[in-house]
Amino acid sequence: MLLEVMMQANVGNIDRVIRILAGLLLIGGALTGAIGAWGWIGVVPLLTGIFRFCPAYLPFHWNTCEKK
């Protein structure tokens, strides 16, 4: 129950698209060797975009989802 409340979507549509694109670009750069191993950090924005949840937003009570 607590995990369900903590993992409510807090990443909105525009934020989500930017995260997914940035993640894919970083991973692509790592795969091609253009930016080295640091590009694998792109997994973080990719996953936060896919799951629509960013744990870094929690302490600040940020939420980029549209208001209902």
Which tens digit of pLDDT belongs to each residue from 34-63?
999 999 999 999 999 999 999 999 999 999
d(CA 55, CA 46): 13
Residue 4 has pLDDT above 80, yes or no: no
Residue 31 has pLDDT above 70, yes or no: yes
The sign of the torsion formed by the CA atoms of 10, 15, 17, 22 equals: negative
pTM of the model: 0.86
